[in-house]
Amino acid sequence: MKNRNEPRAGTGHTQRGQCAKRISILDSAAQVFCRKGFSGASIDEIAVEACVSRQTIYNHYREKETLFTAVVEDVMDRANAMLFSILSTFPDKTDHLEDDLTAFAVRLTKNCLCNQDGKFLRKLVQSEGERYPHLFETWRQHGPGKIGTALGALFARLSHKGLLRIDDFDLAARQFLALVNADLQMITLLGGTPTDEELESAARNAVRTFIRAYAGPASEAAPRTPALAVVS
C-alpha cells in the first residue's frame, strides 16, 4: 500500500470512510493501470489491491473507463502541484550558479520526473495517449507545455542578469530538461528508479554541459578550466 502524505481536499460532503475508500481505489488503480495498461488491468485485481469489494468500485466510478479518467486526472493534478512547487525553488541568487542549478535539477527529477506519478504519466501517455486525445491534450499543455514555458521564463531571468547568454529561452528550457534526462532515460525506461547518486551525477553532467553551452561572458573562463583537466 502506498500512503499519501498530503491531505487531499475532499470532493464534497463525503465522510472520512468514503473518502478513504476513494483514495485507496484511485491509488491501487493507478498502480495496476501502470503495470498492466488499460486493457490488461482488471477491476478485480484493482479491487483486491485496494482491499475493497468490486461492487464498491462500480458504485463510485460507473465503469472502467470512468475510473481510468478519474485516475489520470487525479495523478495529473498531484503532479502539477508538485511541479509548480518545485519550479518555485528555481535558483535566483547570483553565486554558485552551477551548484544551485544542479540541486534544482535533482529536486526536479526526484519529485516530478522519476517519482511514482511521473512514471505513471510517462507510461500511460505513451501507451494510451492516442486513445484518449482529449485527456492527454490537457496533460500536454499543463505538463510539459507549462514546464517548458515556466522554466523558460526562469532562464530568462538568469539571462537578463547576465549570468547566462540565452537567445531562445524556451529552447534552452527544453534542452535543460533533455540534458537532465540524458543519463536517466536508460534507468527509467524499464521501470527502475534511479538512486540518489545517479540523480546527482546526471544533474551534474547536465548542468555542466548546459552552462558551458550558455555561459555568460563573465563566467566563461572559469568552468572551462576544470573540464580541460579531465581531458584524456
Partner DNA sequence: GTCAAACTAGACACTATTGTCTAAAACGTC
Partner DNA sequence: GACGTTTTAGACAATAGTGTCTAGTTTGAC
Stretch that binds DNA, among 36-44, 140-148, 210-218, 223-231 (CB under 7 A): 36-44
Quote the least distance from Cβ 59 to its own copies, whole Å: 26
* Residues 123-182 within binding reach of its own copies (CB under 8 A): 123, 125-127, 129-130, 133, 136, 140, 144-145, 165-168, 171, 174-175, 177-179, 181-182
| Position among 2, 8, 53, 96 found at the interface with DNA (CB under 7 A) | 53
Quote the least distance from Cβ 225 to its own copies, whole Å: 12
Q: What are phi and psi of 164, to 5 degrees?
A: -135, 160
Stretch that binds its own copies, among 17-25, 31-39, 43-51, 58-66 (CB under 8 A): 31-39
Report the length, in residues, of the chain.
Answer: 232
Stretch that binds DNA, among 16-24, 88-96, 117-125, 135-143 (CB under 7 A): 16-24
64: partner contacted, choices its own copies, DNA, none (Cβ within 5-8 A by kind): DNA
Check if the beta carbon of residue 106 is closer than 8 Å to that of residue 200: yes
Alpha-carbon separation of residue 130 from 57, 81, 86, 122, 124 (angstroms)? 26, 25, 29, 13, 10
Quote the least distance from Cβ 48 to DNA, whole Å: 9
Question: Residue 30, Cβ neighbours under 10 Å: how many?
Answer: 24
Task: State the alpha helices, DSSP H only, in the chain.
Answer: 16-40, 43-49, 54-60, 64-87, 97-108, 116-128, 133-140, 146-160, 169-182, 185-189, 196-213, 221-229
Stretch that binds DNA, among 57-65, 106-114, 131-139, 163-171 (CB under 7 A): 57-65
User: Rg (Cα) of the chain, in Å, rounded?
Assistant: 21
Q: What is the DSSP string of 45-81?
A: HHHHHTT--HHHHHHHSSSHHHHHHHHHHHHHHHHHH
Quote the least distance from Cβ 50 to DNA, whole Å: 8
63: partner contacted, choices its own copies, DNA, none (Cβ within 5-8 A by kind): DNA
119: partner contacted, choices DNA, its own copies, none (Cβ within 5-8 A by kind): none
Q: Is the dihedral of CA 23, 72, 81, 99 positive or negative?
A: positive
**Residue (of 132, 115, 127, 111) closest to 35 by Cα position:** 127
Sites of contact with DNA (CB under 7 A): 15-18, 21, 41-44, 51-56, 58-60, 62-65
Sites of contact with its own copies (CB under 8 A): 35-40, 122-123, 125-127, 129-130, 133, 136, 140, 144-145, 165-168, 171, 174-175, 177-179, 181-183, 185-186, 189-191, 205-206, 209-210, 212-214, 227-228, 230-232
